Amino acid sequence: MDLGAELHDFARMLFPICRSITGNGIRETLRLIGERIPLKTFEVPSGTQVFDWTVPKEWNIRDAYIKDSSGEKVVDLRRHNLHVLNYSAPVHATMLLSELKPHLFTIPEHPDWIPYRTSYFKENWGFCLAHNHLASLRDGEYEVFVDSTLENGSLSYGECYIPGQSSDEILISCHACHPSLANDNLSGLAVATFLAEHLSGHNHRYSYRFLFIPGTIGAITWLAKNKETTSHIRHGLVLTCIGDRGSFHYKKSRRDNAEIDRAAEHVLKHAAPSSKVLPFSPYGYDERQYCSPGFNLPVGCLMRSVWGTFPEYHTSADNLDFISPESLAESLSVCESILDVVENNFCYKNLSPFCEPQLGKRGLYHTTGGHSPDQQINARLWILNQSDGTNSLLDVAERSGLPFSLLKNAAELLKNGGLLELIDPKQE
Amino acid sequence: MDLGAELHDFARMLFPICRSITGNGIRETLRLIGERIPLKTFEVPSGTQVFDWTVPKEWNIRDAYIKDSSGEKVVDLRRHNLHVLNYSAPVHATMLLSELKPHLFTIPEHPDWIPYRTSYFKENWGFCLAHNHLASLRDGEYEVFVDSTLENGSLSYGECYIPGQSSDEILISCHACHPSLANDNLSGLAVATFLAEHLSGHNHRYSYRFLFIPGTIGAITWLAKNKETTSHIRHGLVLTCIGDRGSFHYKKSRRDNAEIDRAAEHVLKHAAPSSKVLPFSPYGYDERQYCSPGFNLPVGCLMRSVWGTFPEYHTSADNLDFISPESLAESLSVCESILDVVENNFCYKNLSPFCEPQLGKRGLYHTTGGHSPDQQINARLWILNQSDGTNSLLDVAERSGLPFSLLKNAAELLKNGGLLELIDPKQE
Amino acid sequence: MDLGAELHDFARMLFPICRSITGNGIRETLRLIGERIPLKTFEVPSGTQVFDWTVPKEWNIRDAYIKDSSGEKVVDLRRHNLHVLNYSAPVHATMLLSELKPHLFTIPEHPDWIPYRTSYFKENWGFCLAHNHLASLRDGEYEVFVDSTLENGSLSYGECYIPGQSSDEILISCHACHPSLANDNLSGLAVATFLAEHLSGHNHRYSYRFLFIPGTIGAITWLAKNKETTSHIRHGLVLTCIGDRGSFHYKKSRRDNAEIDRAAEHVLKHAAPSSKVLPFSPYGYDERQYCSPGFNLPVGCLMRSVWGTFPEYHTSADNLDFISPESLAESLSVCESILDVVENNFCYKNLSPFCEPQLGKRGLYHTTGGHSPDQQINARLWILNQSDGTNSLLDVAERSGLPFSLLKNAAELLKNGGLLELIDPKQE
């Protein structure tokens, strides 16, 4: 079975679960992720102080509907998880449509789509529905019923740690709290899970830490409980909205020119020329927390279409058709290429720095003179020329315009030929 | 009465005065400015050495004309102040038109306009007139009469000092020596005068020093007599040609990236998108002297149309119709916005730097999640994210692309909410 | 006789010689260059170790042909030097066309041109011919004869050292090993020779070292034998392909922003607006060796058309018609302008740094005020403004956009007027 289809199937399996920032939906999601990768789950009690925030009460929902005066369920959670305002407090009442309306959310510009709305930190109840649907409701009395609980419990998150040669870490983070939205963020969960799966079987320089967490409060909770651990983080990526058919977007870390920023920019330039690199901004996904000034971690955010810029964002149209197997597979491949750059971004030293070494006698040069060099030879010459001990392979890739992978192979060849040595690989 | 009309009326009142770099014209001008703001006037005797220059003899003029052989005054100072070569030495003679011609100045490309010409530092006499006017003069004898005096006297300038909380100063300088030219520089005199008037009534961080001086020799004289004072100057603006209907131009200081340069660029970008920022160059107005290498003061030059690039420049077409009440009012407003930036360009420190503080519980965030933030919230997030103690509000404005005024208000709100503190405001 | 024609005649004289990286062809070439300039020639024995390379056996050739079965010479070295694979080993054999073909080189895309091919470091024999020519050969037996010697001997190169006021050097290098190719590199030999001739008669700040060497192995040999000397090299140019009718290209040194890079960019911008500045790359001519990381010399490469980008490159179409007298003369002039910049790129100090000095009283300013300054005055003002002791004339040229030559003359005038002094010219 091909990788894209497998990724899409994984998203499909997670789609029906009614997730939120706490409760059984995210627990079940973590359990299913844990069937593929070694995932450790954590439960942080409601009321725990995490920096300026407090872990909220746990929310669970069994049922929610609006019945008209004839007893028909005109809005029903069982038809779509988005129908309930996420974190809705319990309610059971009868009221006129006019009284109900302040609790109903629609999108007039897309009258057939159900919006996704939340009220985590202000107690409220409500329903979300298509605008045309609302327009069809007649005046009169309605029974509203939200069978939810908002009680002391805990916030759940999952962590998958894959040790590497060094205790220096790469952080991969994605939010796991959105109900029945495919691009935002089942795409991220699927790609991150498969990435962890692929890495588990291989030798690598860095240790990897994958976080599957509720957005905002989950990242804040993790950072509050792992402040010391963050000193090991050398590079990081937030993965979100990477399953749709749009071009890639990479949003840089607050540092603006971190190695992960340069690696992502390099890979996208070569692998996906229509991609765009965006400057850092303090709104977005959990890079907001990782890049807060107290942490200032080198964490960027990889997306395809950018949140808020595509109409399907945070609506029922962000469904399984909105993401494609091909896009998911390509996103996974781009992630692997970016990680390949930081894994292999070593500094080499030319051991024959005075003039060019004679590549020809080592079989590393064309033997008939008079024509132009190919890219292989170009890569060798660039590395030899720039490897004065101050330039990493990514530096050489940026200056030469050559793809990192070509340079990586050339460096290996030159090292094996005794022309290069690795500088302090532990430091790298 | 509206501000634009008031500014234009002020320029209208000053228009008829026959100004020069010394003499009674500039004295009368300073007297009228002094009726609106607390102006101290200074008289520096002819012959005073000011750096490499010498204060020239004082020039005054009573009458000047050219009479044809029939006794008719064909050119007459009383019809237009520009008719006489400014600083013309006295002369009374009869000569043929061919002998007179080397003393007559016209603009062949604009045959109906009278040029403005000066001969301050080389004794000469002459008349300026429309090219068509010259063409209409028949050959024959003419009586030329310039009833001027060039005698020991003094150079006059005016200074308005408005103390602020700090002895650090902002310098506002404009030349007051041009006769009957509206944009160059009655526009500058009007805007500077009203700016001083507005500032007088308010509390402000910086002290302000307004100079109303003859161009070049006046700036050199002031600098020679106030060399110590210049160490207090933190920011400065030369105001000139800011009454016409053209787009704004800001010419940067020699430092190229002084705070005043960045403030002006920021304000113009947001307030006047068609404006242009020009690099420093050593020709222009009195920024030439303030930015000479021995001083190198952070003084830029704010203009609308740039001298020499509009045909009316230094001609009788630079009249009261060439400047508009709306342009004058907008220029005043832009000056005030630029000064508002440097007045409020403080560094703040985020007191809750680990993760975002919970703005929602402070009423500083939208309560229903799932949609994009508005500019107010964006401004708060940007300030919190960037306020690590190294970035000023202008730094944040530049990185975020948000207007300074929005960030200023957001910072005030966050400070009042206990989330920010001001870093060393005295240092600022 | 005009300079362009003289340069072209010089190239014409050298054209028929059958050059290679060693042997009598280059020796004869050096002898003819030595008739115009004081050239010292060096002979380095075969087998000498030069860094990672070994000086090869000396190659000489008397005759080479292919005879068909009727005894007719279908390919003959005497008709064109390019017909033999350069450094071809001796051979005398009879073989079928099918056996011969692997030893024949053509250019199918340009079927009438003979390619230039070499096999210096792998022993081989072969012939180069037009593709149409090859197509006309009938199957059957051919006699191949290469009457060459590959024996211990030496590698020859020439050096012309012209002492200046300082022992700091400017290196001018060109390869002298290509047979019967006009642009690559008789153009470089001609321009370098005439440049040396012109410099010999004049006083100059720098000492000059001209190298006429075989490509690659010659530069490596020279560097190996002159490692200490390289510490004197302040600026350098490799001259190649500068006789054709294309626009100028300057390839920057590995340092990217060396003074020679800036000087070349400045001169080309003003003298040849269609010129292009190329970033450094490690493939090309002998700048490859001068810019190897162990040396990292400030040596750029001046070309008109870039090797490999014009179809005539390394073919028989790079003949005497491909280079023009006008282009050669212009290239010589551009070289002289670049050298003029580095020769005169001094730092001056304004002795009257507070405000502008009064240029008018020194006759250095227009005397009638009110109009725009000319370029002469602009140059004076720029130098006075920027000469705070940190900016060289080239710095001023870059910031002002004015041509270096204008600024150089203005600086001389201001220095003679007592307004400027030269800062530490020895250091410069």
Q: In a 3-state reduction of DSSP, which class is residue C106?
A: coil
Question: What is the pLDDT at residue A405?
Answer: 96
Q: Does B376 touch chain A (CB under 8 A)?
A: no
Helical pair A404-416 and A393-400, crossing angle rounded to 10 deg: 120
Which of A19, A52, A87 to mutate to probe the B interface, most B CBs <10 Å? A52
Instruction: Give the separation between CA A332 and CA C327, rounded to whole angstroms.
Output: 55
Question: What is the pLDDT at residue C428?
Answer: 42
- Strands (E) located in A215-270: 233-239, 249-251
Contacts across the B-C interface (CB distance below 8 Å): 89
Chain B's closest residue to C360, CA to CA, is B121
CB of A213 closer than 8 Å to CB of A219: yes
What order of strands is seen across the sheet that includes strand C154-162? Answer: C40-45, C154-162, C207-213, C169-175, C233-239, C299-303, C249-251, C276-278
| Closest CB to A360 among C86, C121, C227 | C121
Query: Which secondary-structure segment (H or E) carries C224?
Result: helix C217-225
Question: What is the pLDDT at residue A425?
Answer: 55
* Residues of B with Cβ-Cβ distance to A223 under 8 angstroms: 354-355
* Residues of B with Cβ-Cβ distance to A120 under 8 angstroms: 369
Q: Does C19 touch chain A (CB under 8 A)?
A: no
What order of strands is seen across the sheet that includes strand A388-392? Answer: A388-392, A347-350, A420-422
Any chains having at least 3 CB pairs less than 8 A from chain C are A, B
Q: Does B111 touch chain C (CB under 8 A)?
A: no
Q: Does A16 touch chain C (CB under 8 A)?
A: no
Instruction: Give the separation between CA A173 and CA B408, rounded to whole angstroms.
Output: 34
Q: What is the pLDDT of residues B320-334, one digit of tens each?
A: 999 999 999 999 999
Q: Does C116 touch chain A (CB under 8 A)?
A: yes
pLDDT at C370 exceeding the cut of 70: no
Alpha-carbon distance values, A97 to A134, A138, A336 (Å):
10, 8, 53
| Closest CB to A289 among B355, B372, B387 | B355
* Residues of A with Cβ-Cβ distance to C282 under 8 angstroms: 356, 378, 381-382, 384-386
Question: What is the pLDDT at residue A424?
Answer: 72
Q: Does B219 touch chain C (CB under 8 A)?
A: yes
| Token code pair at residue C81 | 């030097």
Bond from prior residue into B185 cis (ω within 30 degrees of 0): yes
Contact criterion met (CB < 8 Å) for B219 and C355? yes
Render C115-154 in DSSP notation, one character per residue: B--B-SSS----EE--HHHHHTPPSSEEEEEEEEEEES-E
CA distance to partner chain B, nearest, from residue C357 (Å): 5
Of B20, B16, B41, B314, the closest CA to residue B150 belongs to B20
Chain A's closest residue to B370, CA to CA, is A117
CA distance to partner chain B, nearest, from residue A10 (Å): 25
Beta partners for A299?
A236
Q: Does A102 touch chain B (CB under 8 A)?
A: no
Direct distance between the N- and C-terminal alpha carbons of chain B, in angstroms, rounded to an integer: 38
CB of C61 closer than 8 Å to CB of C80: no
Number of Cβ within 10 Å of residue A38's Cβ equals 13
Instruction: Give the separation between CA B323 and CA A133, rounded to whole angstroms.
Output: 60
Place of tokens 């590497």: A164
CB of A413 closer than 8 Å to CB of A382: no
- A309: which residues sit within 8 A by CB, 6+ positions away? none
Contact criterion met (CB < 8 Å) for B369 and A115? no
Query: Which secondary-structure segment (H or E) carries A270?
Result: helix A259-271
Q: Is the dihedral of CA C197, C198, C204, C205 positive or negative?
A: negative
Chain B's closest residue to A122, CA to CA, is B367
CA distance to partner chain A, nearest, from residue C183 (Å): 15
* Residues of C with Cβ-Cβ distance to B216 under 8 angstroms: 356
Phi, psi of B276 (to 5 degrees): -130, 145
Contact criterion met (CB < 8 Å) for A355 and C118? no
Contact criterion met (CB < 8 Å) for B369 and A52? no
Direct distance between the N- and C-terminal alpha carbons of chain A, in angstroms, rounded to an integer: 38
Beta partners for C237?
C172, C300
DSSP code for A182 = I
Chain B's closest residue to C400, CA to CA, is B281
CA distance to partner chain A, nearest, from residue B379 (Å): 9
Instruction: Give the separation between CA B370 and CA A87, rounded to whole angstroms.
Output: 12
Question: What is the pLDDT at residue A428?
Answer: 42
Of A117, A136, A142, A113, the closest CA to residue A127 belongs to A117
Which of A350, A354, A414 to mutate to probe the C interface, most C CBs <10 Å? A354
Contact criterion met (CB < 8 Å) for A356 and C289? yes
- B257: which residues sit within 8 A by CB, 6+ positions away? none
Instruction: Give the separation between CA C262 and CA C277, rounded to whole angstroms.
Output: 10
pLDDT along chain A (428 residues), means of 10: 94 98 98 98 98 97 97 97 97 97 97 96 94 96 97 98 97 97 98 97 94 98 98 98 98 98 98 96 97 98 96 98 98 98 97 96 76 84 96 98 97 96 68
Which of B50, B52, B123 to mutate to probe the C interface, most C CBs <10 Å? B52
Contact criterion met (CB < 8 Å) for C355 and B224? yes
- Exposed / middle / buried, residue C273 (Cβ in 10 Å: 0-12, 13-18, 19+): exposed
Question: If pLDDT is split at 50, 70 and 90, which confidence band does C357 have?
Answer: very high
Query: Which secondary-structure segment (H or E) carries A189?
Result: helix A187-200
Any chains having at least 3 CB pairs less than 8 A from chain B are A, C
* Residues of B with Cβ-Cβ distance to A118 under 8 angstroms: 368-370
Contact criterion met (CB < 8 Å) for C293 and A350? yes
Chain B's closest residue to A119, CA to CA, is B368
pLDDT at B428 exceeding the cut of 50: no
CB of B86 closer than 8 Å to CB of B20: yes
Chain B's closest residue to A226, CA to CA, is B354
Q: What is the pLDDT of residues C110-126, one digit of tens each?
A: 999 999 999 998 899 99
Q: What is the mean pLDDT of residues B299-317?
A: 97
* Residues of A with Cβ-Cβ distance to B357 under 8 angstroms: 51-52
Of A355, A290, A305, A283, the closest CA to residue A188 belongs to A305
How many residues appear in chain B? 428
Provide the ipTM.
Answer: 0.94
Place of tokens 């965006």: A278
CA distance to partner chain A, nearest, from residue C293 (Å): 5
CA distance to partner chain C, nearest, from residue B53 (Å): 6
Question: What is the pLDDT at residue C205?
Answer: 96
Instruction: Give the separation between CA C251 and CA C287, rounded to whole angstroms.
Output: 9
- C343: which residues sit within 8 A by CB, 6+ positions away? C204, C205, C206
Of residues C412 and A1, more confidence is placed in C412
| Closest CB to C355 among B120, B283, B289 | B289
Q: What does pLDDT average to over chain C? A: 96
Question: If pLDDT is split at 50, 70 and 90, which confidence band does B371 have?
Answer: low
Q: Does C109 touch chain A (CB under 8 A)?
A: no
Question: What is the pLDDT at residue C121?
Answer: 84
CA distance to partner chain C, nearest, from residue B279 (Å): 9
Helices (H), B255-388: 259-271, 287-290, 325-344, 375-386
Contact criterion met (CB < 8 Å) for B355 and A219? yes
